A and B are shown apart, each in its own frame.
Chain A
Amino acid sequence: MLLKMSSKMSSSTNMANARRMVQQLRVEASIERIKVSKASADLMRYCGEHAKQDPLLMGIPASENPFKDKKPCTIL
């Protein structure tokens, strides 16, 4: 009885896993996709639009820098 149970268990687990995988793949296959060229253009446009507000790109005036040193920093 125990042997039957465990083989039933492992085959039912495999089946359940296989069904889950098929269902998951169906979901993934059905999504709408766009071309990489379009996606790239959107990423580039976002960068361009926000570049001016990016302090790590543009830098910030010393007067506005919240991390301004009180004493000088040594750069080797």
Chain B
Amino acid sequence: MCDHTFVAITFGPCDSCTLNKPLMNIYLQNEPVNYCSLCVEMMACQGLTQGENLASLKAESEGLKLRLEEERAKLHDVELHQAAEKVEPLGQLVTKARRSLKGHGNKVLCTDWCRDKRRLVSSSQVTEHAVTMPCTWVMACAYAPSGCAIACGGLDNKCSVYPLSLDKNENLSAKKKSVAMHTNYLSACSFTNSDMQILTSSGDGTCALWDVESGQLLQSFHGHSADVLSLDLAPSETGNTFVSGGCDKKANVWDMRSGQNIQSFETHESDINSVKYYPSGDAFATGSDDATCRLYDLRADREVAIYSKESIIFGASSVDFSISGRLLFAGYNDYTINVWDVLKGTRVSILFGHENRVSTVRVSPDGTAFCSGSWDHTLRVRTGRYLSLSDTHTHTHTHTHSLT
């Protein structure tokens, strides 16, 4: 459900029609003005070129879409899994559950790893390695790069930043700072390369970039036609872009500075719950309610792989790559985690253990472990490795882990 409402910071006389209305703060020739939404729409139509009407625009639209399809098809000379035929196949994944962190009656909806340490933040109260979040409606959480603060938000439509302290008795809520304000729930948040800016996505169909210190909206991203459920920033070497996925089945790539939607991909058959960049930044993976995960290459501008099986009928809620990009971990609503060989398109492992939906899967920044969070109120941290096919040990294909 998306309402294209905007955050109205002011209410007053419109600079154009002088009526008292909620105002949009826009820039005309670099001058800030306040127009009501009706005047903004009227102004958008004033630049019509000669003879342009709705029909001609629609025809041009259709023509461009066809051209896009043709251009993309011309370059579709091979499938990724065909190109990867000669790559050495992976053997069995052996994982070891290292930690199981039980919550106090809350579904785990989101987790994030701290960049340098082995700490996790999650939306439920846990012990040892994780930080308590002071609310039960949190849908998104993120560690600041410095490890000194966390951002979280959810049904309150906001994203707030909490500084972390070593003093366990300190009341974190007292120091919280509201940064982002949307007109619907906050679905995801992420710090950019510093503690100073946060990128958010929302059920209101938009993404936004905020300054943490002032709470000011720096850039907004419009283009989704329904709730945006997930976002991921490109690895820093590849520049200022991010990808978002939503209920409109689209994955959009954005330029953070201009707010421009650079590329758009619409091949999923249902909501996209999770998006994640491939470690090189040249591609990204998605997990969807259509029970598939897909890989989209940015330079080929198309989908290059689908990770699916007839036996998998439940939606994928969360995806993440191992640090070489060879493995894709995906959590599903049938309580399992499937591990895919990204290049060959095959499933190399299925992990059981959770007693309810897996809502989030995150690989640690150094790649040594991955953690899965679930509606069964637990966070499980696992390490593992692949046995090559020539390895003399034999293991059963699937493992059920239980911790004493």
Complex Cα spacing A69 to B342, Å: 30
Instruction: Say whether B401 contacts A76, CB under 8 Å.
Output: yes
Tell me the smallest distance from the CB of B248 to a CB of chain A, in Å.
14
Interface positions of A from 22 to 76, Cβ below 8 Å from B: 22, 24-29, 31, 33-44, 46-48, 50-51, 53-60, 65-69, 71, 73-76
B176 near A: Cβ within 8 Å? no
CB <8 Å contact, A18 and B327 = no
A18 and B262 in contact (CB under 8 A), knowing A44-B84, A57-B324, A73-B401?
no
B76 smallest CB distance to A (angstroms): 5
Q: Which residue, of B48, B58, B65, B80, has the highest number of chain A Cβ atoms within 10 A? A: B80
Which residues of chain A come closer than 8 Å to B105, judged between CB atoms?
none
Q: Which residue of B lies closest to A5 (CB)?
A: B38
Knowing A46-B279, A51-B326, A67-B368, the reply to whether A40 touches B84 (Cβ < 8 A) is: yes
Verify A18–B323 contact, CB threshold 8 A.
Answer: no
Q: Is B20 located at the chain interface by the 8 A CB criterion?
A: no
- Which range holds the interface residue count of chain A? 35 or more
A31 partner, pick from B67, B77, B301, B323, beta carbons under 8 A: B301
**C-alpha gap A65/B368 in the complex (Å):** 8
Chain B residues with CB below 8 A from A18, complex form: 54, 57-58, 61
B367's partner among A22, A46, A53 (CB-CB below 8 A) is A53
Q: Are B323 and A33 in contact (CB under 8 A)?
A: no
Contact partners of B213 in chain A: CB under 8 A: none
Q: A44 to B325, alpha carbons, bound, how many Å?
A: 9
Quick one: which of B26-71 are within 8 Å of A by CB? 38, 41-42, 44-45, 48, 53-54, 57-58, 60-61, 64-65, 67-68, 71
Q: Looking at chain B, what size class is its interface with the partner chain?
A: 35 or more
By a CB distance below 8 angstroms, the chain B residues around A48 are: 87
Question: Is B397 close to A, CB under 8 A?
Answer: no
Assess whether B385 is in contact with A28, with CB atoms less than 8 Å apart.
no
Contact in complex: A56, B363 (CB < 8 Å): yes
The answer to whether A47 touches B75 (Cβ under 8 A) is no
Flag whether B304 is at the interface (Cβ < 8 A): yes
Question: Which of B80, B299, B326, B386 is within 8 Å of A33, CB to CB?
Answer: B299
Query: In whole angstroms, how far apart are the Cα atoms of A43 and B57 in the complex?
Result: 38
**Chain A residues near B (Cβ < 8 Å):** 9, 11-16, 18-22, 24-29, 31, 33-44, 46-48, 50-51, 53-60, 65-69, 71, 73-76
User: Which are the 6 A-B pairs with shortest beta-carbon distances?
Assistant: A59-B385, A40-B83, A54-B324, A67-B98, A50-B324, A25-B64
Beyond the given pairs A15-B44, A36-B78, 13 more chain A to chain B contacts, judged by CB atoms under 8 angstroms and listed by A's residue number, are A13-B41, A24-B223, A27-B260, A36-B77, A37-B77, A39-B282, A40-B78, A40-B304, A42-B280, A50-B324, A54-B327, A57-B324, A59-B384
Interchain Cβ contacts under 8 Å between A and B, 21 examples: A12-B41, A19-B44, A24-B223, A26-B64, A27-B261, A33-B72, A33-B300, A35-B300, A36-B83, A41-B83, A43-B283, A43-B325, A46-B282, A50-B279, A54-B367, A57-B386, A58-B386, A65-B368, A73-B403, A76-B400, A76-B401
